[in-house]
Structure 1
Amino acid sequence: MMTLLILSQGKCGLSKGITRYMTAMATGDLMVLVFNVIVSQIIRDYFPGSLLKYTPACRLSVFLQGLSLQLSIWFTIAFTFDRFVAICCNKLKARYCTERTAIVVISIVSAFNIIVNIPLPFRYEPTHVLNNVQWGCRTIASYITSPAWAAHRWLTNISNMFVPIPLLLLLNSLTAHHILVASRARRALKSSRGGAGEMGRDPELKSRRTSIVLLFTISGCFMVLSAPITVIHICVGVTQLVAFQGSSSLYVAIRVAFLLMCTSSCTNTCIYALTQRRFREEMKNMFKSPSSLFCKAPYIDMGRC
């Protein structure tokens, strides 16, 4: 919430396109924390009398959990691709790296992931019906045997696990290579012109370093924290293991991997604070005078503040 409020002010020295992507990532991360942690892990386990005992609420929760994870993943990929174009594709940069394109990309990613997750609620049926009220959720019998559900499982696994990490590695590798080559060429040019003493104060090189630090820390943390759950999914898919005991080592590994994946939704705010000086300044201003930040938020009547 703090990240969304700070980014909405547009005072972090970032372009409008980057701000859109970072706001989208913060929204996806917040959804993961709400639906995959608070609702799924806390309310479900420690508040048995909650609305989740009703089948419609349980189905909606499942849909929002799957959607939240995919939005968090693909917003990160969209941001990484935008930075790749901005740094490596000079001809395409002017047309692609704009606020309008960011809005279009975010909308397409959101719509695609909503469509992919629409079948999830239909995976479950009520455990029992009492007085025409559906209670509980259990997986339908055809989920394991149906070819349609098998195709949907493969689609979600590819979208969530198998594509994101290799794609991020490829984009980051190409971006890093381009930055290193361009920086060497710039240093060589300045040295030939007798400007070796000014290279340390070169604003262009400083801007590139800031971009690569922000890009690599965001996508790098995501890859490190998401890799364990990806490895487990691959192992389970290869061994065709579909059931396990609650005390088994596989269960513990899955719970730890899920914890790490959810933790990746908590790191971006820390990354912004560590890499962006203006973001840190806005955080300090928020802590000093929280009311002033809310008064400056969009869509709030300034006359009432």
Structure 2
Amino acid sequence: MVTILILYRGKCALSKSAARYLIAMAVADLLIIFFDLIWRHIASVYRLEFSFLLYIPVCNIHAVVLYTVTDYSVWFTVGFTFDRYIAICVQKLKTKYCMEKTATVVLATIALLFSLKNTFWYFMFTSRYELASLSWLCYITTSVAQSEVWGAIEFVHYILTPCIPFVVILLFNALTVRYILVTNRARSRLRSHGCRECPSDPEMDSRRKSIIILYAISGNFILLWAVSMIHNIYWRMVYLGYETVYLPVHVREVGFMLQLLSCCTNTAIYAITQRKFREELKYLFSFSFITNKK
């Protein structure tokens, strides 16, 4: 919530399109914390206290909402990565694409497409809760669990989130960093010939900061999602009778923990990499302290 407020104030020296993506990512992460960590996992840990959920027929609706906001978080990160690639590497499109209006259209399109895509969970799951720390939060019938058709649909889901985002993010990050390094070398050569004692180049400093925040956010996403992705694919393979290796139970728990952690780390990433964000964070806390003191 603090991250959303700071980014909404618009004083972090970010472009409007980048700020719009980061706000959308922060909102999606906040929704995941509510629907996954609070509503799902706490209920799974305190099963007796939340046993009433077994008799409320809404689990499949919960599943649709949960997987939808998870897709939002992942694909908003992809949108942010592509926006930064255009802003840094494709100067001809920068003025047309890297705009607040374009970012809004892209985010709305992603939201619409993945809202429609995740409706299949409503029909795959039953309306009763499992109330256990499993990759599936609802009871499912044996016919669905062992169905090759549903298995194929679920594999498509895992390919879309997060396999394709992994590849896309790595690709655009590599292209962005390559462009920045090549351009910086050229600017360094020009500056060395023209002025040996000139102050630091603000353009080069800005690009270095872009590399840091880009890799921090996307690298955090890839590292923290990898275990969960491997486990989910493995579990579906087991249900279809294709168990080739054995994954211990704790791999599932670690995957869940890291996936949820990925929704809580962006604020720390901004604070570490962005000076303006740190200043706004200090201002917000000092303002809250002064207000409470009065």
Q: Same fold (TM over 0.5)?
A: yes
Change (3 A) 1:82 1:59: same
Q: Spell out, residue by residue over 1:9-42, the C-alpha distance to the aligned partner (whole angstroms, 9 max, x if none).
A: 1111111111100000101111111111111100
For the residues of structure 1 that align with 2:24 and 2:164, how far apart are their CA atoms? Answer: 20
For the residues of structure 2 that align with 1:208 and 1:126, how far apart are their CA atoms? Answer: 50
For the residues of structure 2 that align with 1:204 and 1:6, how far apart are their CA atoms? Answer: 25
The answer to whether the 8 Å contact 1:71/1:109 transfers is yes
Aligned to 2:134: none
Structure 1 window deviating more from structure 2 (151-160 vs 140-149): it is 140-149
- 3-state SS of 2:10 partner: coil
The answer to whether the 8 Å contact 2:28/2:73 transfers is yes
Change (3 A) 1:97 1:126: closer
Structure 1 window deviating more from structure 2 (179-188 vs 229-238): it is 229-238
For the residues of structure 2 that align with 1:3 and 1:69, how far apart are their CA atoms? Answer: 18
The answer to whether the 8 Å contact 2:146/2:240 transfers is no
Alignment gaps of 5+ in structure 2 = 130-136
For the residues of structure 2 that align with 1:83 and 1:137, how far apart are their CA atoms? Answer: 38
The letter for the 2-side match of 1:17 is: S
For the residues of structure 1 that align with 2:57 and 2:112, how far apart are their CA atoms? Answer: 22
Is residue 228 of structure 1 aligned with residue 203 of structure 2? no
Q: Spell out, residue by residue over 1:90-117, the C-alpha distance to the aligned partner (whole angstroms, 9 max, x if none).
A: 1111111000110001001111111111
The answer to whether the 8 Å contact 2:158/2:233 transfers is no
TM-score, length of structure 1 as denominator length: 0.84
For the residues of structure 1 that align with 2:239 and 2:9, how far apart are their CA atoms? Answer: 49
For the residues of structure 2 that align with 1:25 and 1:254, how far apart are their CA atoms? Answer: 25
- 3-state SS of 1:286 partner: helix
Aligned to 1:264: 262
Aligned to 1:204: 203
Aligned to 1:185: 186
Change (3 A) 1:108 1:242: farther
For the residues of structure 2 that align with 1:92 and 1:126, how far apart are their CA atoms? Answer: 47
- 3-state SS of 1:56 partner: coil
For the residues of structure 1 that align with 2:49 and 2:242, how far apart are their CA atoms? Answer: 27
Structure 1 window deviating more from structure 2 (176-185 vs 281-290): it is 281-290
The letter for the 1-side match of 2:211 is: I
Aligned to 1:166: 167
Change (3 A) 1:263 1:86: same
For the residues of structure 2 that align with 1:226 and 1:127, how far apart are their CA atoms? Answer: 27
Q: Spell out, residue by residue over 1:258-285, the C-alpha distance to the aligned partner (whole angstroms, 9 max, x if none).
A: 1111111111100111111111111111
Change (3 A) 1:63 1:52: farther
- Matched positions, count: 281
Shift of 1:233: 3.7
Q: Spell out, residue by residue over 1:189-228, the C-alpha distance to the aligned partner (whole angstroms, 9 max, x if none).
A: 11121x2322x51110011011111111000111111122
State the superposition RMSD in angstroms. 2.6
Shift of 1:151: 3.7
For the residues of structure 1 that align with 2:47 and 2:123, how far apart are their CA atoms? Answer: 24
For the residues of structure 2 that align with 1:108 and 1:288, how far apart are their CA atoms? Answer: 38
Is residue 20 of structure 1 aligned with residue 20 of structure 2? yes
- 3-state SS of 1:138 partner: coil
The answer to whether the 8 Å contact 1:172/1:216 transfers is yes
Shift of 1:292: 9.2
The answer to whether the 8 Å contact 1:32/1:68 transfers is yes
The answer to whether the 8 Å contact 1:226/1:261 transfers is yes
Change (3 A) 1:183 1:17: same
Aligned to 2:3: 3
For the residues of structure 1 that align with 2:241 and 2:126, how far apart are their CA atoms? Answer: 19
- Counting aligned pairs with the same residue, the percent is 38
Aligned to 2:115: 114
Aligned ranges for residues 136-147 of structure 1 at < 5 Å? 137-146=138-147
- 3-state SS of 1:201 partner: coil
The answer to whether the 8 Å contact 1:71/1:110 transfers is yes
- 3-state SS of 1:163 partner: helix
Change (3 A) 1:111 1:249: same
For the residues of structure 2 that align with 1:137 and 1:214, how far apart are their CA atoms? Answer: 37
Aligned ranges for residues 30-179 of structure 1 at < 5 Å? 30-46=30-46, 48-50=48-50, 52-126=53-127, 137-146=138-147, 148-179=149-180
- 3-state SS of 1:14 partner: coil
The letter for the 1-side match of 2:78 is: I
- 3-state SS of 2:25 partner: helix
Shift of 1:250: 2.5
